[in-house]
Amino acid sequence: TMGLFRALVPLLVLHLLGGSNASLVQLKDNGYEDIIVAIDPDVPEDGEIIEHIKDMVSTASTYLFEATEKRFFFKTVSILIPETWDANPEYKRPKHESYKHADVIVAPPTLPNRDEPYTRQFTECGEKAEYIHFTPDFVLGKKENEYGPSGRLLVHEWAHLRWGVFDEYNEDQPYYSAKSKKIEATRCSAGISGRNSVHKCQGGSCSTRSCKINPTTKLYEKDCQFFPDKVQTEKASIMFMQSIDSVVEFCNEKNHNQEAPSLQNLKCNYRSTWEVIRESEDFTNTTAMETPPPPPTFSLLRIRDRIVCLVLDKSGSMSAGSRLTRMNQAAKLFLMQTVENGSWVGMVHFDSTASIKSELIQVRSNTERDTLVKSLPTYANGGTSICSGIAKAFEVIRKVDPQLDGSEIVLLTDGEDNTAKNCVNEVTESGVIIHLIALGPSADPAVTQMSNQTGGNHYYASDNAENNGLIDAFAALTSENVGLSQKSIQLESKGLNLNTSAWMNDTVTVDSTVGKDTFFLVTWTKQPPSISLWDPNGTLTANFTQDTVSRMAYLSIPGDAKVGTWIYNLQAKADSETLTITVTSRAANSAVPPITVSAKMNKDTNTFPSPMIVYAEVQQGYVPILGASVTAVIESSNGHTTVLDLLDNGSGADAFKDDGVYSRYFTGYSENGRYSLKVRAHAATSSTRRSLKHALSRAAYIPGWVVDGEIEGNPPRPEADENTETILENFSRTASGGAFVVSGYPNTPVTDPYPPSQITDLAATPEGEEVTLTWTAPGENFDVGKVERYIIRISGSMIELRDNFDAALQVNTTDLVPKEANSKETFTFKPGNISEENATHIFIAIQSVDKSSLTSKVSNIAQVALFIPEADPDPEENNSSGVNVFAVVLSVVLSVVVVSIILSTVICVIKKKNSSAALEHIC
């Protein structure tokens, strides 16, 4: 198994899911400020990369300004340089900038030779994406033939990242049957000219021939490719192929190819990219400039040693229940296991005043860790002065580092403090990053503001120890600026309330990507439990260190923990006992990325009844893991818990099927205040695997150009080795997704506020004179429950169906009984007469209705063609190398996943009275 993992490139992942607003970019006076370009520490030192980044951004700024009708440009950019690179007087220190906030990451390829630039984008049209990934070879200009100039391509990816638009090519559906009854290449605008050919090279010799039609699909064969003309005049579009010299614009409503099966059409309801950009907040808040913008300015920021100071609340309210003990248990996990070697750590306690308990110590071994553990508070009393605690932390940090920039404060508090707002501005301007852990429902709102404004993380832990929220929060506080191989990874986090002699029995899997520094932590609230732990060989593991004062026991596995299933048995020794177990580990091999799970909500704050979306990303390095079992646990301030099975099925809240992002709507509000998110992931079956698919939202690979009537081809794009796909072992992971805040929850019961979710994967297949539809069932409340009925309508006009659904011809669905949400629905019907004359396709859409008569949004539009398309004339016979310029979709149009539809038969649904014998024969 390890051999398969080593097939992946050595890679350190720096950008896991951040908060919903991870980017620090601001738009001021038409210029984007505070853009962060981060160089991965696994990239070997090369000063040319920095210079090429500058050139790329500068060129992109000019191209962006012209492409957006003189509206946007790049103003200030920080380049984050890894600590593994040598120091340089030109390099300054980061402030709030970190890899968590990176907009562009320069890192090794996702898989060997995969140098394709892409944007990690898994939300809906018009919503910001996560980050852009460029490889060093791409930045250095070594892939320009395949992908085009880097500056232009940055603008293509920026449109994905900032405005949530999508590509206008489609490698899954490169061709479609046009309204002109021709086979056309998927592109925008349709005015882009080129040749459809099969071009093969072997041993230095190349051959070109016309494309043949596949008799099953009625489209061009698999090896057929669209080769654009090198010289042409068409100006649009940047989201199709910005590398064409003449392309300087986004497609707008005048030249948009509305019928091509591009992801832009499928995800954005057939609107052009420029229409989506025009509706963005950026566009509405700016006006066009009259003069050209200045060139971008760059800051070179080098990562340095981590400096973190714990600021711990020991006020009187911390004596309630077991808060002080639970804080110490979690803080000990952080000090003994989570914080990385080489970090500087200090500690401050506060109540109505504050005191320094430990100056900054650089952690190099367990000796420093043990010293810090001894500084934790042993009692709690007094008031709450958060600002006093932060001021003392500033004092601690300045003794080692007069500049506070980039230092971190982990602030744990459980109480209100009406003076906390007095130091918000000072904290925000200091350069310190505040990570907030709010314990219980009463932590002051001002500290949330501090955390948000300094780019820190925000966690919430309830008083319910069974949910292990406090330990999860401290376990999540790994450095944002080190390679993944150095980070502590949580394998297990579980708790139970038990009575005397009851057992907590379960297993935890140590897979081959982890095993170093494996740490088992058991906690209790009343009496030490009986603890038994067996390794995968069945050997009983003893020697847990017991800390009765902190009510915890722990065990460090020397060397690398054995790969396989570890069995634990915990037996309670008191009634109403709460036992928890936490297991953490690190990467076994710095050259093999460990499997990780990271999670977030789509918003940090929300107002009832607006739904939220949970996102969990399962990856190995940058490679998505598919087919995992992923569960989210959301807990409110009063301890109300909602459990959601997250899905990667491309329906409901999940935007794309099989992209390694597992999603679900959350509507289970129970009160106002903070909620916490925790996610568990494990290998579900033998079908859990790595994804070998090329990333969505990426630059088009240019197969070659047509120059003077001849094709000048590029080498074929590298594909992944299939033996890297299947995961042959189990794994388990847990992760905290932080906290979010809800307001507006009513005091009185509310009638059903949630309609069914939109159907986004409607597909249609003709079968003789009938059409069979398939889709994923929505729910009574978005993607939960069962809808009451479906409304299916058809039309000969896609736009009429989209814009005037209620007026289209309705299909009889009397026999269609809806299934539970996320089930597969199938329905076959015989289309009736549609009103449009000269229709070339039948277009179909669905709306669902719940028992409260709330209706969903109209689904994506599926379609079937009513003709067999014609191939291009042979260029050798007709001396023509162009392609037709207008297009319409042959295949089913999907909003989420691009799926090819096989038309094995041609159906005729428009039958005329007294039709000729010839027509009857055709139909």
What count of residues does the chain have?
A: 923
Other CB atoms within 10 Å distance of the CB of residue 749: 5
SS3 assignment, position 664: strand
Phi, psi of 645 (to 5 degrees): -80, 120
Cα–Cα distance between 353 and 384 in angstroms, integer? 8
Place of tokens 């494309």: 211
- The residues pairing with 706 across neighbouring beta strands, listed in sequence order, are 229, 711
Under a CB-based contact definition with an 8 Å cutoff, are residues 99 and 14 in contact? yes
* CB proximity list for 21: less than 8 A, separation 6 or greater: 452, 604
Cα–Cα distance between 544 and 546 in angstroms, integer? 6
* CB proximity list for 812: less than 8 A, separation 6 or greater: 829
Sign for the pseudo-dihedral over CA of 268, 269, 270, 271: negative
- The residues pairing with 561 across neighbouring beta strands, listed in sequence order, are none
Phi, psi of 400 (to 5 degrees): -100, -30
Place of tokens 């502590």: 488
Q: Which of 97, 116, 130, 157 is catalytic?
A: 157
Phi, psi of 354 (to 5 degrees): -135, 150
Cα–Cα distance between 192 and 888 in angstroms, integer? 15
Cα–Cα distance between 242 and 127 in angstroms, integer? 22
SS3 assignment, position 873: coil
Written as six digits, the tokens of 823 are 């089930």
Measured in whole angstroms, the distance separating CA 53 from the mean position of its chain's CA atoms is 24
* Helix ranges, 23-149 (H): 47-67, 136-139, 144-147
Written as six digits, the tokens of 136 are 């060093």
Q: Which helix (H) or strand (E) holds 238?
A: helix 238-241
- Region for residue 428 given its phi and psi (left: phi exceeds 0; alpha: psi -120 to 50; beta: otherwise): alpha
157 noted as active-site residue: yes
Amino acid at 244: I
* Helix ranges, 696-744 (H): none
Exposure letters 286-296 (e unless 16+ CB within 10 A, then b): beebeeebeeb
Cα–Cα distance between 917 and 432 in angstroms, integer? 83
DSSP designation for 724: G
* CB proximity list for 318: less than 8 A, separation 6 or greater: 324, 327, 380, 414, 439
Measured in whole angstroms, the distance separating CA 849 from the mean position of its chain's CA atoms is 30
689-693-698 Cα angle (round to 5): 140
Strand order in the sheet with 824-829: 763-767, 770-776, 824-829
Measured in whole angstroms, the distance separating CA 56 from the mean position of its chain's CA atoms is 25
Under a CB-based contact definition with an 8 Å cutoff, are residues 598 and 681 in contact? no
Terminal CA-CA length for the chain? 56
Other CB atoms within 10 Å distance of the CB of residue 23: 20
Write out the DSSP string of 534-573. E-TTSPEE---EEETTTTEEEEEPSSBPPSEEEEEEEE--
Cα–Cα distance between 638 and 434 in angstroms, integer? 25
**Closest by alpha carbon to 300, among 143, 548, 76?**
76
**Closest by alpha carbon to 266, among 648, 758, 789?**
758
Place of tokens 């709102």: 445
Q: Which residues are catalytic?
A: 157
